[in-house]
Structure 1
Amino acid sequence: MTKFTDLVSGLSLLLFLSSCSNAAITETPAPYTVNLGGNGKAYYHVLYDLSPKNLLSVERVTLQQFVVNGGQFELLINKAEFPIPAPQCKSDIILRMPWVAPQHDVSEKYQLYLAIVNLADTQQGRVPVAIELNPYIEKNEDGIQLQHCNVFFRHTRNHYISHIHALEQN
């Protein structure tokens, strides 16, 4: 009987420890992903839903201005609603779409811009955006934090990237 009791106690302990380790694994994940670039550098990204609660303003431009500006525009996100701490930032978070040279197509960026303007105008819905946290990021024992108030739409090879998965290396 003692062997049976010891076996049951051992299994109970094993199940308990297993559930504890699973609980640790299923805790709230970090609000960002890390992808390594071809150069081995860590790139930090966040998939973020712009909403009436967090979108404070968006720069207004015409299509002609948008094209002349190389698809570059910016908006303000409520710092208190942003998932990455920015203790040095005394204002809200500036999210900027990078500029591209005139020979590059900006129509995809313009469609995203129009969706964001519509969100700002109607105060309804959500617009998911992929955000590049580099280069203004600092890693510490608590995770990461912004060093400044700036972040960028995820962008590579003159195009906006709408996801936070690793890019294929060419």
Structure 2
Amino acid sequence: MKDSETTVQPLPEATGAFQYQELIESRLGQPIAVELNDAESQRLAASPGAKLAAARNALGLSVEQVSAQLKMAPRQINALEKDDYALLPEAAIIRGFIRAYAKLLKLDSAAIIDLFTDDFNKKKLAGDLGRGKNRHSIAQTSNTHSNAPSYTLALLLCLAAAAALAYFNLLH
């Protein structure tokens, strides 16, 4: 055989992951990782951030335009769209961000918040949020009386001090 017959032609330049996949599939003659692509597309379809990003793109808005309208930092918009809750404040605040973002995009905010709640709790159980700022579950963030025992103790101490002061004044 001649060298020219055994030489492999260089691959055309590809700029994106999808183009690389097409090149590999054309060389193999069959699709690759179909299950992975289906699973990834299902995950993204159920992702609150993906829904927000898709709606933003459908309206032709940039991250900067959305961040200016919502008065949020672009990094917060990106974190919401990537479902990266560790980069955001507490869960209650994230729900407010999602509500405002969905309203801007004219989406059903309740449905997206439900998706967020499920996703947040799954990530919390998996430990993905344990090292970030979010150390509370959604149930804990909605509990406004979690510090009640410490307030009660402080109140009792103040009352005891006032009683002691009144008793001291009576003696003198």
Query: Normalized against structure 2, the TM-score is what?
Result: 0.23
Query: Normalized against structure 1, the TM-score is what?
Result: 0.23
State which structure, 1 or 2, has the greater radius of gyration over its C-alpha atoms: 2
Q: As a proportion of its length, which structure holds more helix? A: 2
